[in-house]
Every structure is written in structure tokens, then in C-alpha cells.
Structure 1
């Protein structure tokens, strides 16, 4: 990346705001990385409320903290990455670093050829010393950073007005205050933003098909399929009847298929424009290998993964919700349900279905279809109709795969 018009300055001048004659993309990248990690994150210190960011502690001249003062919490590295990309989602791509570069910054290895930038903008280990905030693996083998807390609405009273102005100009944000849940669960991008909203919204407004044909392996006729932006289950721009569901890619484009006719497709959905006759439906299914069709009430269900389907009920003083969680581990060490006072509910867990091979009684089965939710960690976030009292929450995970929770409404 080209650098523009650097000045050679004395050590005193290097500390001034006239460091660079003209701002470059490299400088903007370093500025945003340090600004975001320095102002939106801080050490998780016991009994310290409100939390202070790393740069706020430096500005206020607070004494160093010891390991015994830390809360012992863990933040997933992926959560910190999501927050960064959430903040820069509207920024020009030239000031947004790749995921690889972001991880280098978190390790203190972000590469820049200019020594002035290295001294002007601290990297993550400079703000959070590794001996107090080590990078580790959690019990579930996920990468975490210890004793770091997310501050979604940082104190701006000590930040230079010109730095705030520059941050807003680069990110396109009008305020430094963020939505905690949207930032922590942002999944629309890994450095590319979340463009294409109009196409996504128009796609989401389509009616569910009357017949669903699942084609797990090969497709003989795919000319009716077109490329489109795929919806994201946590993207705020996904609306309409498909809102909240996982919308996976249907496979390679038509052009790719013509170039690779012998390649197999990933599982795909074929949407039929009209109700077929029985004979037409039989011919469609016959053209597949291990394919099947749904008709009647099964075809009227919403398209998408079965994990996370939700029903919510209400009475005079309580709310009741039921979540469909087939194939989810019921082990309390890997399953949790958190309810906040404003009615937000977050369910986390691990699915065990969707494997390519299944072992039963010393036999190994190669799965011909994989229509159940794939194995791995998941989270479900939804909102109850009103505020609640989290202290009066009870939940049970039944053996039929339904998680049921009941919670008292907050007193008015």
C-alpha cells in the first residue's frame, strides 16, 4: 500500500497532531484498530462499575492493576472480531483490515513498514499485557482472551474532539454508543461490510414454495437457479417470512456448473413456481439421487433449519417461550439460557447432528443425506414482548428436544 508525503520530525513534533502531511489508508487502519480496542474494551476488574476502557485508564493516570484484581472472565476472540467489523461495517474498504491482519494486531504482530506508526498507535498487547490478559483455549476449545470486557458506550469526555471527528468520518457512525447485542453477534461480514440490502430484502419477500424438493447431491437441470446475495441469520436487513432463519447458499452459479459439469453440488433447494401435478412431482424426484419431496402440511412449514423455531406465549404476569432444539446437547456445561431485564433471551449450545458418518453398535454408517442441523456451536437471540424479572426465570430442556422457559414480567 502506497504511503503519501511523510515528514521527518523531531521527537517532540512526533507527538503532535502534525505527524502526517496527508492521511493514508495505512494510517487510518492503525488509527481505527487502536481507537476501537482502546476505547471499546477495558480490563475486567472486580467490583469496578462502570468499566473504564484501556485508554481511559491511561488518560486518568490510574495505577496498574494486578492479576488478583481481575474477574477471571473470558471473551471469545471471535466476539472481539465481530465487534470490530460491526463498527467498521459502513467504512470505506481501504480502512478496514482483513481478518488475518486483525488477528495479527491482537497478537501484537500487525505489520507496518513505518516506525512512526508503530509508536503512535499501540497494538492490542500494549493495551492489554499478555501476562494479565493471556490468549488461551476455553474448555470447549475456543480461542479466548482473559479478563477483557466490552464497553458498548465508552466515556468520550477525555477523548480529543479531533479524534472523535476522525473516527466518525472513517466509520460513518453518528455516535460512539453501540447496540451491545448487535455488535456482539454481528455476522454479516469479515471485513467486507453488509451491502446488498435491497436484493436481500426483495428475496425475503418471496412466498414459501408449495412443494419443496431437496437435492442433496447432483442436479441435472439447474438453469432456473440464479445468483443472489444470501441472507444471514443474524443480519438486521433480513426481513419478511424468512427473517431469523438460516439461509445457506444453494450451490455454485450456473456459469460455474457449466465450467465444472462433473463436480457435485452441495445440498440445494429448488423453488417451484407453481403447484406440480403428481406425475410431474414423481418425475422431479426420480431425477434425483436420494432426493425426496414434501407435500401437505409438511410443505407449508417455513423453509430453513429446524433448530431455533420459536413459540412465545403470554398471561397476566408471565411469559412462556418454547424453542425447538433437536439434536442439541442437554449437558448443562455446554447449554445455557440467559435472560436480560429488557426481555432479550440468548440461548447457546452445541448441536451433534448432521455428521457425514455415524457410528452405532460397532457399525459405521455413511450418511446419504445431511438435512439436519450441522454439528457445532450455535446461538439463538430473540426478544420477549416486554421487560421481565430475570430472578424469576425457570427453564427445562425436555428429552423431546423442546426447551421451555417461563419468566415473570417486570412490575410496572
Structure 2
């Protein structure tokens, strides 16, 4: 364990410590890396379906527990902004040299934090050593904020597996007397590294920049904009509107009932037109869906020289590069993508909702394939994927059969 020199400690002791009750201890680069591994490895663990209580990532590593698979994980999400807040909250009483900047924290989370030039690291592990990308993806949830999938917060980590010297080192560097953290205070801690954690930010090589506009300045600007909008839409002379009264005394409708037709089953959708060409083939999460809005509903239109198809794809990602639509010469259309709906748990604001019934398609990869009425020219295919979740494509009919070919349409 590296300790700072006496000269550096006396230099740190001269700094004002009004925000903390006791003197703070300066940290080396090795201390910074130790705190990153300790906090993100002790206070977070995989969200395993059958594990109660949850074990932290460091606890699993020390105990030598077997690796888990994606099927064992719960489809939950954890905000990156909350991970930031918890890290800085745990070091709120620490010397500034113990905390890394926000860009370095993000590099550590992505597994790209470079080693120091003048020191040899005691611990080379990064966040991805505990939470590998293929099991805990970094994604954008509902297109608003960034998340890490299938991860939980452990506010009072188990200490039986920890070395006593590691616990003392953490307490000395963090300025904390105990390891337990308050969940609400930690997740909402304002660390001041940027102005607004849930709005879109500029990025350089995938790492967020710190926005110079403060929270108060942003609020004042939004207030001015809302006032200007109100002045521009308000009539100069308000005209009183006469309230219309409805007389319900002669209402003779009484109770009514609306009958909805039953949705078709997967077997009905997979009915065979002929032995070679099934109408619609579903696989992946689309094939195991329950009743409700369906993925893969298809309408096909024809004209003299082209075919038009429209496919319903609610809750399908279209901006991550993993969505594609392939059209082949014989008229086969293959759609591949990833759904984001049907979660078993949902975060809304500061609340976690456990979904009781899942009528939407479970999250994950899917494929939908169907055949157009005849052969086509794949090179003459245009498609659009609207915000309403409808994929629409127009492909020209085949004039002269040439060989097998396909065209990939990516959003």
C-alpha cells in the first residue's frame, strides 16, 4: 500500500476543511484506483433472479462463485448518473485528490482508464472485470438517459470477505466511519461535475463533456423561454368563454359493453400458404410473446410494377445499428432487431415498478420474415422506419431473373 509523503500530507493539512469534521488525507493514483475498485465493486452487484440477498461483485470474486449467464439476470437497468452520484457521495468527505474527474470515471466504467505513467498499479482491474459488457450492456434507456443493465445497489455491503486493512484504508481515504450508505441520499447526491445529468450532452470519443452552464443558469433560461412562449401565445384581450352545460337527465344509454376480437395466436400467424413459403415466421422474443400489441403484423400492397409492405415494430430499437431489413430476389423479407419493451421491472423517476402482467414483447433480439407475392429487384428497394413504430418498404417487381441477391436496409 502506497502512502503519501510527509511533505504532501502537511501540504494537504493546510487546506481548509470546513465541510468535514476531521482532516482529510491526500491520495495517490494507486489510492484513487483502490477507491474506484472498492466502491464500484463493493456497493454494486449483478441483479441475479434467484439470489437473496444480492452479493457484491467483489464478494463474488473473493468467494470464487461460478460465473452467471444472461438467462440468470433480471432485465433491470441502473442509471449511469446514479452510479456517478453514489461514487462521489461515498467520497464526499474525502480529499479532492482521492476523487477522479468525471471523464476518468466514465473511462473506468467502460474499461479504458489508462494506467499512470509514474506509478505501478497495485490493482489493474476495471469496472468491466466485474460487470462484463456482454452481460451488463451500457445502453440508452427509452432514448433519454444512459444505463447499465442488470445491476443492483448494495447500500450496506458484507464485510466478512474483506481484508481489515482494506476496510481501514477505505475509511481513512474516504473520511467515513462506517460503510453503510443511505440509498436516497447517495442516488440524488449533487456532485457538481456537470449541470444536468439526464439531458443530452456533447461527447468526444464516447465520453461526456462537463457542461459549463450551471443548474441555476439553466433554470433561469428555461423560465425566460417559457415566459416568452406564454406571451407569444396569449391573446392581448382575453375573451371570456361561455361555459356549456350538458343535461344528462335524459340519458337512456345505461351500461354498455365493448367487445374486442381475440388477437390471433402465433400458430395462426404461422399458417402455411404453401409448403415452401409460410406467411410470417417469428423467432426470438417475438415468438414467445403473449397477447397484446404484436411485433410482426404485416400489410402488403401491390401495383403494376412494385410491392409495398408495412410492418408493425413497436418498441424496437432503430438507432443503435443493430436493426436491419434484408430483401432477397425471391421476395423474401427478413427483419432483425432488438426490442426494448416487456421489462419485468421499470424505473420511472425515483420509483421502481414491478410489472405484474407482460403483454408486450420481452426485451431481446428477434427476427420476422415473410414473402412478398412474387420475385423482386432487391437493388431497387427503399424503406423508412417512422417514429410510430411502422417499418414501410417499397421494392420493385423483378423484370428479368438474374441470380440470388439481397439488400440490407439499416436504420
- The interval holding the TM-score normalised by the smaller chain is 0.3 to 0.5
Give TM-score scaled by structure 1 length: 0.42
Q: TM-score, normalised by structure 2?
A: 0.42
CA radius of gyration, larger in: 2
Of structures 1 and 2, the one scoring higher in RCO (CA 8 A, sep 6+) is 2
